[in-house]
Homo-oligomer: A and B are copies of this chain.
Amino acid sequence: MIVRPHQHWFLRLFDWHGSVLVSIVFRLSLNLLMSVIAVIGYPWYSTFGIHLTTAPFSLIGVSIAIFLGFRNNASYARFIEARTLWGNMHITQRSLLRQIKGIRGIRAEQVQEFIGLQLAFSWALKHRLRQTDAQADLRRLLPEKWQRAVVDNPMPTSQTLLCMGEWLAQRRDEGVVSDIVWQSIDENLNHLSAYLGGCDRLAGTPIPFAYSLILHRTVYLFCTLLPFALVADLHLMTPLVSVFISYTFLSLESLAEELEDPFGTAPNHLPLDALCVNIERNLKAMNDEFPLPEPRQPDKYFNLT
């Protein structure tokens, strides 16, 4: 995610990093090349009666814009849903700790043990979504007695949640947690389970492949044919207008593809690292465990992972 300080509107026009420009610059160059071919070749190939006009391209262009608008909507909704799931996880983690700390008769090391399980859950989820190795973080965060049950399990995130349920059941057995309080805390464990499931669903079910494919294909074919349709009217101005129109369509198509899977580490993806550290800082501050870990800082391109 890019966390850029406020820019003047004029400077923003020439901002390079953080846009998807990098990933489409080759395709735009291709379009420029086609435009030059169209301008140079037009006098020759039009003698064979080969001839394209703007009108049908206006029809197909607006139609593609409508469908591309739909695809952008769908991708952006996934991005927002992913962010909301992580935001809600932060909320529930905080509520859980508040409930735990409000229990009378609970011992400080038990609270710390539970915080360890909470943090392990967040970091394990991050590693799961980015398909990186969770071992190191699990060993760092998990209390000794729960490590064995989680670290070697094929599904550590789900297993951590099970441990939290077990921790809670132990407190109920000890008599410090009544059934009613158990119910309130258990509901929040259900919520954590829901965020895990929601993230899994987003990561495992892309937008139906045919949508991406149809739009991808029509956008490219449209941009490739466009210079030949514009050249009869625009002559020398064809490259300028053609690249401009192609930029609009290609960049939005490319961004939609990037936002579709919001759990990666590209510039427009969610900063899962920073979110995990935020949760860690918040829970530790609530339990007066200072000093807090440092928050993640954006790099020099304002990029935060």
B244 and A60 within 8 A (CB): yes
Among B158, B184, B221, B240, contact of A186 (Cβ-Cβ < 8 Å): B184
What is the bound-complex CA distance between A221 and B241, given in angstroms? 10
Identical copies in the complex:
5
| 0/1 interface trace, chain A 63-76, chain B, CB 8 Å (1 if under) | 11111111011101
Min C-beta distance of A45 to chain B, whole Å: 11
Segment from A119-127, A133-141, A194-202 that makes contact with B? A194-202
Say yes or no: is A98 at the interface (Cβ < 8 Å to chain B).
yes
Among B1, B205, B217, contact of A205 (Cβ-Cβ < 8 Å): B1
Say yes or no: is A146 at the interface (Cβ < 8 Å to chain B).
no
A193 and B62 within 8 A (CB): no
Looking at chain A's contact residues, the main secondary structure is helix
What is the bound-complex CA distance between A3 and B204, given in angstroms? 9
Say yes or no: is A108 at the interface (Cβ < 8 Å to chain B).
no
A166 and B56 within 8 A (CB): no
A218 and B162 within 8 A (CB): no
Give the nearest-CB partner of A178 in chain B. Answer: B179
* Residues of B with C-beta under 8 A to A267: 209-210
* Residues of B with C-beta under 8 A to A40: none
* Residues of B with C-beta under 8 A to A101: 162, 165-166
Among B69, B94, B173, B285, contact of A70 (Cβ-Cβ < 8 Å): B69
Using CB atoms and an 8 Å cutoff, list the residues of chain A in contact with chain B: 1-4, 9, 12-13, 15, 18-20, 27, 48-70, 72-74, 76, 79, 83-84, 87-88, 90-91, 94-95, 98-99, 101-104, 153-155, 158-159, 161-162, 165-166, 168-169, 172-173, 178-184, 186-190, 193-194, 196-198, 200-201, 205-206, 208-211, 213-214, 216-218, 220-221, 225, 230, 233-237, 240-241, 244-245, 247-249, 251-252, 255, 258-259, 267-268, 270, 282, 285-286, 292
- Interface pairs (29), CB distance under 8 Å: A12-B216, A15-B213, A48-B236, A51-B233, A54-B55, A56-B58, A59-B62, A60-B245, A62-B62, A62-B63, A67-B72, A70-B73, A70-B76, A76-B211, A91-B193, A91-B198, A95-B193, A98-B162, A102-B165, A102-B168, A102-B169, A155-B282, A179-B181, A184-B186, A184-B187, A208-B268, A209-B267, A211-B255, A225-B240
